[in-house]
Structure 1
């Protein structure tokens, strides 16, 4: 098994080792990437003697590479049976996993490393969390952190899901709990793959699937281990197959035993002691509702446990295990006795984050969340951030007034809201993650700031939205809605071909396909319903030969400001996230741009958009068709903001908090500073998935993007993608 130690060093001073890490791997060989490993801190199976050996070796290694000032990462391989330890590598720099170590311990590695590099010594730097100790003190934690990587194999048909030395994860989540089991369950609640914890929320896979996926290291091996234990496999058998330390297997076995105990009861007969124990080990209300006998809903469990006075408390991440007073408001929830999160008298705003990075929803949404936090603070509110992604700026402890490192999961979000009692919640900035729980928040009476839930839902409901467009006399492609593969096939015959088949309430074109006949529609529809069983299917006539347009706009419900109109270089049918986009448009006629502007304003006013709206259109033979509207921040917001120099996320937040667009217009703050053209170029990771087709289509596959500024369209950054647009 692998271990990593993180340190900071100043000259010849002894380095500080921040944490010992145990990548929880499923087979020692073939070795696979740290970034693809489930990781736990502090180490759970390493003796103090072995930890000190590793610590001493790391210090010697850091000293041996000469004088330097900054961060350092040392990785070891360790055989728990023989005690043999091998140094794998040393990186005298801040590594990708340094962010994870910082979020897990509260120790700001990059900040300290930067100050060391410009001449400070460790004893001269204060600990920002406690405010009373220096950076010389090694952090100590009295909780357990679990990191689970996030994969997107569903985006790459035919990709090899077996983990190897080539990193395949596209993001990660981190969870904090008082026990390993609690943090593990919270981590799976954070993953945004439809799980309410480590299993106990749907039917078990077949024995053949479990057996196959335990033979090699798959991304979901932890889930398969739990299923195998539930079906009667022994800890010894699984340890022999997977080479996972038995300590972890016994922890998962305990969760399985708790499931059996819970399943013997109805909600009203569930002993309060068992309910509390289940919550202490991370079981969500959704899991409990699934396990209990009889028809039980999540809200029934929540109501019952609150009546039993079983609610979480919030405790500090303080770097010192409570030995010194902490000043930084960085919290996690747990079921314990002492609540360390004091509620102020100030008016509060909660910003819901975007969860783990994945294709279709990446760091672009965290950009919007961070600017929303800063805008709320500037407006005099106490800004409270909820997120679970250690890779983001929004989860830095000094960004928001209060940070709750929690899953973006309805139960966990409601726990924070009930504790803090904000004036409202901002869901526009967190992508589809935040929007998914907005319905539940609305149903329990939580105030959604900005565009109302009803109008956000209208945009997702193809029938309602198309009726709105018809009222506004705005053209749109013929469409249909289906609730089964058979219905989809029948509807497609009335619309015509080619036809775009897609689920609703998704980002990044997930599951989207272009079909050319009835049989393909039925096949694609079945695949979508297998992945999204409770979803509705949207079918739109595909406009061949059209040019796709993206529009980002600000609105206060009355006035509308067009922030940017982007024209795709690739033809319609290629997802906008995978296309090279140009701002401003490079070939649209003035009257077409005027029509796009008019349609955007009409839609924003009709939907009473307060904040941001993104509208996608297709131009074919100078006719403009509206494809969809999203009354929220889009992935193009950072691109438009940086291209024009207008902080639109900040202004959108201030509109949600009651300011008017004329405030910014009258002060000349909405004038674009762009000269020439800005180009958004997608970045792909094809080398990670060599067996996957590189053909682009309606489902997004890019993992990042770059921005390029050019003066003329003769520039190669425009000419090359333009010449290749139809290849």
Structure 2
């Protein structure tokens, strides 16, 4: 049933005195909050129906599956605002409301909903607030003896200056209560942090600016389902790019490939400790940084994350269905699942970000802590290289088997560029470099073709280069030459890599696939392999 509302005296909607639950959707799709949350909302509606409970969805995006007329038992096509949700809650009188599937939009309504007497099904508002409030969350981690990056929060520019001088650069700064790394930046100087804090209060008025010491390590991500006592971890994902690139924009690998047994055990321990301390009833997402054997907790989201769809498909575990059952009062053991890390798959899944930069003129395209991608691709294969190759192809980052590659590298990345160029030349690529990059490579004894940035941009427009590797210096101004180089690559659809980690992994994948080929199976066939794998491990 498809329902719209208007302010009028007549009410044509009939309600029924039967068990029902409201699911709050994610509203309009935008950067930072995409279709992944609609997947979670749809799966939640189906799970409620399977449980014999009438499912009601509040959402207002006609381009989503959750707003199809037959997905839920009843759809209220309304804005995701406090007033509209309260009106529907008062009319329907449901068992409660589920906010964990609608991303940050739904989560941000929780406090006011509770104040107005709405029952939240799943993780409580108090626990959500602890995870979202930097001061409270930091205190919790200290109580649990869990590592976190050194950091503090600032309400004024003066606070921020004092914190920056105390912690030292580089730093990660961001507002609180945002999604998609909105307005998050890595800052390297005192002036940068002064400029940032001066503007940040406009994004989250009255909320503190979070300032963390930047950790140059591997970033790792976990999605789990908790019933408050038992915590099921379907898998651990590892990002190809180092910490500092938003998780939504990074290439992610499952199962993680570069973690020691000790690091994995620590991640499991931290996930269980946090989930139990917050009394999580449903989904939780935790992001970690791992450096020199030490695991740090970066962020916790007691809700569905954008990686839930991929982890559900990769492992075959119905994460949203389990979260709904738990929110309705069941234990994971009743649902035939035990706690801990689920057996890892004998195949690999790679998540690749998809961007729409050619449609967003004058927008910086380089990878950063602020999310820019508008979608994602899942590559799956019996080998890691095959999965990455498929993800790259799906995302439109096709690396030619031969051709001309242009390099324009930031000074901080010069040392890493040496091994990259040697690998590229070893594979037969012809290398061109902008002046400063080329001069450094020449000093290192590596011959490349050197040209000015302006000339490189002209040749890009003529289709002369087959791919571009550009790690940006600080600066997002459209009149910056490096900015123009990246924009030209995107607008002329030339594969662009702004992270050396990504291009190195991509080259390795291409060379291995050229030798070993790919496995061609359906997702269902891969999941059957995992089912057999789990059975054998149990036996």
TM-score by length of 1: 0.53
Q: CA deviation at 1:675?
A: 3.0
- How far, CA to CA, are the matches of 2:193 and 2:502 in structure 1? 32
Query: Which of the pair has the greater relative contact order for Cα pairs under 8 Å at 6+ separation?
Result: 2
- How far, CA to CA, are the matches of 2:133 and 2:77 in structure 1? 32
Give the corresponding residue for 2:22: 350
Give the corresponding residue for 1:634: 305
- How far, CA to CA, are the matches of 1:467 and 1:519 in structure 2? 29
Does the CA contact (< 8 Å) of 1:366 and 1:393 recur in 2?
yes
Give the corresponding residue for 1:724: 503
- How far, CA to CA, are the matches of 1:530 and 1:494 in structure 2? 25
- How far, CA to CA, are the matches of 2:176 and 2:168 in structure 1? 20
CA pair 667-554 structure 1, distance change in 2 beyond 3 A? closer
Give the corresponding residue for 2:238: 567
Does the CA contact (< 8 Å) of 1:618 and 1:627 recur in 2?
yes
1:525 and 2:197 equivalent?
yes
Does the CA contact (< 8 Å) of 1:350 and 1:425 recur in 2?
yes
Q: Deviations over 1:446-484 (max 9, x none)?
A: 111110000001001111111111111111111111112
Give the secondary-structure state (helix, strand or coil) at the position aligned to 1:333: coil
Does the CA contact (< 8 Å) of 1:480 and 1:491 recur in 2?
yes
Give the corresponding residue for 1:614: 285
- How far, CA to CA, are the matches of 1:466 and 1:364 in structure 2? 28
Gaps of 5+ in 2: 393-398, 400-499, 507-539
Q: Aligned match of 1:415 in 75, 87, 99?
A: 87
Does the CA contact (< 8 Å) of 1:480 and 1:538 recur in 2?
yes
Runs of 4+ residues deviating >4 angstroms: 670-673, 718-723
- How far, CA to CA, are the matches of 2:229 and 2:299 in structure 1? 20
- How far, CA to CA, are the matches of 1:543 and 1:562 in structure 2? 25
Alignment of 1:262-281 (within 5 A): none
CA pair 722-488 structure 1, distance change in 2 beyond 3 A? closer
- How far, CA to CA, are the matches of 1:715 and 1:503 in structure 2? 38
- How far, CA to CA, are the matches of 2:355 and 2:54 in structure 1? 39
- How far, CA to CA, are the matches of 1:563 and 1:624 in structure 2? 19
TM-score by length of 2: 0.71
Give the secondary-structure state (helix, strand or coil) at the position aligned to 2:138: helix
Q: Deviations over 1:239-262 (max 9, x none)?
A: xxxxxxxxxxxxxxxxxxxxxxxx
Give the corresponding residue for 1:591: 262
- How far, CA to CA, are the matches of 1:726 and 1:471 in structure 2? 39
- How far, CA to CA, are the matches of 1:420 and 1:366 in structure 2? 22
1:396 and 2:175 equivalent?
no
Q: CA deviation at 1:485?
A: 2.3
- How far, CA to CA, are the matches of 2:378 and 2:86 in structure 1? 38
Give the corresponding residue for 2:518: none
Does the CA contact (< 8 Å) of 1:480 and 1:492 recur in 2?
no
Alignment of 1:479-628 (within 5 A): 479-544=151-216, 546-628=217-299
- How far, CA to CA, are the matches of 2:336 and 2:241 in structure 1? 34
Q: CA deviation at 1:703?
A: 0.8
Give the corresponding residue for 2:467: none
Q: CA deviation at 1:497?
A: 1.3
Asked which structure has the greater CA Rg, the reply is 1
Q: Aligned match of 1:435 in 107, 118, 123?
A: 107
Give the secondary-structure state (helix, strand or coil) at the position aligned to 1:429: coil
Does the CA contact (< 8 Å) of 1:369 and 1:394 recur in 2?
yes
Q: CA deviation at 1:665?
A: 3.0
Alignment of 1:37-186 (within 5 A): none
Does the CA contact (< 8 Å) of 1:646 and 1:671 recur in 2?
no
1:333 and 2:5 equivalent?
yes
Give the corresponding residue for 1:130: none
Give the corresponding residue for 1:696: 367
1:683 and 2:462 equivalent?
no
Does the CA contact (< 8 Å) of 1:574 and 1:696 recur in 2?
yes
Does the CA contact (< 8 Å) of 1:570 and 1:726 recur in 2?
no
- How far, CA to CA, are the matches of 1:672 and 1:414 in structure 2? 43
- How far, CA to CA, are the matches of 1:698 and 1:586 in structure 2? 23
CA pair 700-340 structure 1, distance change in 2 beyond 3 A? same
Q: CA deviation at 1:664?
A: 2.6
